Structure 1
């Protein structure tokens, strides 16, 4: 299957951008309640790229080590969702979620649990909204915490050294009055992109009718 056969049409891309926007906005609202500060979001960027290109897109923005909450999702379309932070930001997020009065030792002890909880809330909120708007259901794995550079984080489908094409859906965010910034990314392989394209077609028909 070539990249041309799975590239989303402009209308499908617009529909996916709108759906993701709504999902991420709801997830950001949940994060705002957790940290007590406004969350600023970028407009989603959606591209079909190689895994290495996806890794470079993050690497161009962050030269430091990264921490990510990773959840795989499956259903009518499947893939991997990542909530990514520069490693230096992760403890700032833990402090914001768990309490500013914690000592440095307590922060380190709580890092894994707090990051997993935060990732679960945000990624579930985003994916749940997408599934609802597409009138389907998705199953998510338990959150995992991974650390490394972009190459480690985006080796989602790169078994046996392959570098397959993926749908790279990317949003960056920051928390006002906190030293917290990060990224939300979703990676889907070619069969998943094809399935998603069909669901987006159904969504467009429901919203604007058969003339779309």
Structure 2
């Protein structure tokens, strides 16, 4: 059965979204590099329309340990959820990195939640603000929330009806070169948001083609 074109992105739209996400994530990585003082390596963004359950599985297939994530919901012309996800054992290393390795192990544990929320806030905000700016729109974001669990918990796929609903799932792997820090930036958007995003990508493509012409 072929997919409904209303809930898929064609090649041009996918290329445009990949470029926009790439620029957003590169801006986020630049901010993370300033925070940890080391180079941040990024993968090419993966963009798929999948069920929410499948999105959770894509992360779980890569990680056998528990995960920790900073989650922020965003709203505007399109809305969804942005997540900064790490294997749990990476989280304290990230806190050590952003605090300049100056704290005792106990102090690192004491401020872990606060430091992760602030780091996630900076990274997710810079990524989404850059993307929204390129689409000539603005987004509002909720206060960051720190979650622990597996992919199903982070993506809230316990609810059977929600789990089977299709979402636009974007994710990018990243790693900090000289430290044991790796993770993912992920975004989930529902189908009405995907349709709104398709219209904005159409406008973006017209602008780019117009500028090139």
State the distance in 1 between where 2:148 and 2:79 align: 23
User: Aligned residue for 2:11?
Assistant: 10
Contact 2:168 2:190 in 1 (8 A): yes
1:98-127 CA distance string (max 9 Å, x none): 131311110111101110111011100100
Report the 3-state secondary structure (helix = DSSP H, G, I; strand = E; otherwise coil) of the residue aligned with 1:145: strand
Report the 3-state secondary structure (helix = DSSP H, G, I; strand = E; otherwise coil) of the residue aligned with 1:209: helix
User: Aligned residue for 2:100?
Assistant: 99
Give 1:134-173 correspondences, 5 Å limit. Answer: 134-155=135-156, 158=159, 162-173=163-174
Contact 1:157 1:189 in 2 (8 A): no
1:38 paired with 2:22, answer no
Q: Which runs of 5+ in 1 are unaligned?
A: none
Judged with a 3 Å threshold, the aligned counterparts in structure 2 of structure 1 residues 52 and 162 are, in CA distance, closer, same or farther, namely closer
Provide the aligned C-alpha RMSD in A: 1.9
Contact 1:172 1:181 in 2 (8 A): yes
Report the 3-state secondary structure (helix = DSSP H, G, I; strand = E; otherwise coil) of the residue aligned with 1:58: helix
* Aligned-residue offset at 1:4: 3.8
Give 1:67-82 correspondences, 5 Å limit. Answer: 67-82=68-83
State the distance in 2 between where 1:94 and 1:196 align: 34
* Aligned-residue offset at 1:181: 0.1
Contact 1:3 1:165 in 2 (8 A): no
TM-score (norm 1): 0.95
State the distance in 2 between where 1:174 and 1:81 align: 18
User: Aligned residue for 2:111?
Assistant: 110
Contact 2:65 2:88 in 1 (8 A): yes
* Aligned-residue offset at 1:158: 4.6
State the distance in 2 between where 1:65 and 1:110 align: 20
State the distance in 1 between where 2:40 and 2:19 align: 18
1:135-183 CA distance string (max 9 Å, x none): 0000000000000000011127957554210000010000011000000
Q: Which runs of 5+ in 2 are unaligned?
A: none
User: Aligned residue for 2:200?
Assistant: 199
